[in-house]
A and B are shown apart, each in its own frame.
Chain A
Amino acid sequence: MRVAYFPGCVAKGNCPELNQATQKIAPLLGIELVELTGAPCTGAGVLQAQNPVLADTYNAKTLALAEELDLPLMTICSTCIGCLRKSNQKLSEDEGYRAEVNAVLKSGGHEYHGGVDVTHILYVLIKELGLDNLRGMVKKPLTDLRIAPFYGCYILRPASIMGIDDPDNPTSMERVIEALGGTPVDYYGKTRCCGFPIGLENEEASFKMAGKHIGEAKDKGADCMVTPCPLCHMNLDLQQPGVSQVVGRQLDMPVLHLPQMVGLALGLSPKELGFSKHIISAQGVLAKVGA
């Protein structure tokens, strides 16, 4: 299948291993990535606080780019999918608003008509590829690996915008983990907030949030966590040394990006998947799957 690929800022910035891993697994999964190189940032819910119309217009541009290609728009970030879908809902349902936004967009040669399907690689795996197909592609099953999924907020909530998985009791990540031969670890914090968005404003609370969830996953016997959101990854991995200090506990929890986990099961090497870039070494996990 072909998708309009929207990697987002972080996968090209502080989490380059995410874009790298996605680019590696896509051909193996039969997904052709047509990258939207002209698409701007979604606003991440931050820019929206200064100028919501600006954020919607940026997103309208991205949606228009996908529409021009007549392709579904695939993200690899919970925040990106959340922001894009929120703008998309408003632009698709409210004709007057769409016209207002298009009035700005048109000078740049784009126009959005509404209705583009905005998805995430997690849901592409489940709905487009299918878990049976995915299972059939596994070369190195993640047997004996206890994996704690960490969803990130925007990929689930609010249901009125996302409506793909149950925000109270989601199963998508667990089903992918199982298809890859791994064992999902259930814990309360999996749908809670990683704390990243207030890392600057209230670092202590931010780190406590991350620390609580990592600690809980650890207590439940997880070998690693896996997340579909690079922003979560930044608080859970990049900031984990600081998080450990704040919660007063050595966490040592490897955190995988979803495409990295898929890549491991498909037999890709840790190097190809950018594991060396992690702050918390995933060596133990890699050893367990013989990678």
Chain B
Amino acid sequence: MIEANLKVYRYDPQTAQEPHYDTYEVKELPDFATVLDALIKVREDIDGTLAMRCSCRSAVCGSCAFRVNGHAKLGCKTKVSTLAPDGEEICVEPMGNMKVIKDLVTEMDIFWDKLKQVKPWIETVGEPPEREYQVPAAKMVELQQPMNCIMCGACVSDCTVLEEDSKFLAPAALAKAYRVVGDPRHGKTKEWLTDLSEEGGIWDCTRCLECVEVCPKDVAPMDQIIKLREQAIEEGLTDNIGAKHVLHFTESVAHTGVLDERMLPIKAAGWGWAVKNAGIAIKATLKGKIKPLLPGSHPSVTEVQDVRRIHEELEEGKRK
């Protein structure tokens, strides 16, 4: 038997303007008890007014994502004994990036709305076959990773871009988009990727890996976003800053082995960007931080010939 010391975020819009925290000592929990088990015990035995969502208790329904000690976690997959081996206080709060309805219950509209926005269904083209579509076994297995998403919202809660830009589609919806776009039965890949390349889409992810870290189901949303980027480039959807950023990055490295960060933004974002940033660029140049754009100011790595060879071979291979 173990104990859990919980500090729980409480907010009731009917009685209070501001949230507060309540602490609970939860005794006689089984050794394998999860944070959710402890919260259920609070609700059942100590304080029936605590509101939260939960159902399956085995990480398939996706109901019980909370912020536990500051990071989004699935309550039923987070063990008390791992988190607080010596009875340390465990702080449970509602998910981030969402409005709180009551206590640990957040408004999930933002999650479902973004999901709808990516059109999370496959559109086959032509008459379907009489039986199943024949598709490669390995492809179906690959799609299990994004399909594993239980829509708990943990990644949306902790998404760093969404925090600053509500237009961002955020990790869950984008991972789901890859589940569609990556499906060989889907007939409208380019159409989907065109939409996904818009503002707030695949190119706005900052690759901070928060979603990869907090996802309780190993969906690795960011990895799915990178795959969407790759596919968008392959489909020739390169008339945007994000894709240009990638293409010029690759080109720069292929040229010298080292990225030339002075030229990359200009090539990706245009001379307008250069004009806008001229002030800071001049200041940095005068301080000796940024080297002036002169011939020979961007030396190559010593094995640059080999780098170029590798690039040619693999880009050639990819085109095939």
Contact = CB atoms under 8 A, between A and B. Distances in A.
Interface of A: 9-10, 12-17, 37-41, 43-54, 57-58, 61, 82, 104-105, 107-110, 153-154, 156-159, 167-169, 188, 192-193, 195-202, 204-206, 208-209, 212, 238-239, 241-242, 276-279
8 contacts: A13-B260, A50-B249, A104-B314, A158-B212, A192-B210, A200-B265, A205-B164, A209-B163
A13 B260 CA distance: 7
A169 B290 contact: no
Given A50-B233, A51-B318, A277 B246 contact: no
B213 A159 contact: yes
B257 to A, nearest CB: 4
Counting chain A CB atoms within 10 Å of each CB, the highest count among B205, B210, B259, B307 belongs to B259
B302 A13 contact: no
A38 B303 contact: yes
Interface of B: 69-71, 160-161, 163-165, 168, 199, 203-210, 212-213, 220, 226, 229-230, 233, 241-242, 245-247, 249-250, 253, 257-262, 265, 268-269, 273, 277, 280, 283-284, 287-291, 298, 301-303, 306-307, 309-311, 313-315, 317-318
B161 to A, nearest CB: 6
A193 B208 contact: yes
B208 A153 contact: yes
Nearest to A79: B207
A193 B222 CA distance: 14
B249 A44 contact: yes
A60 to B, nearest CB: 9
B154 to A, nearest CB: 13
Contact of A192 (B160, B207, B306): B160
A167 B318 CA distance: 35
Counting chain A CB atoms within 10 Å of each CB, the highest count among B199, B212, B250 belongs to B250
Contacts of A193: 160-161, 206, 208, 210
A168 B315 CA distance: 38
Contact of A208 (B70, B164, B212): B164
B206 A54 contact: no
A45 B227 CA distance: 12
Contacts of B303: 37-40, 61, 108
A193 B168 CA distance: 15
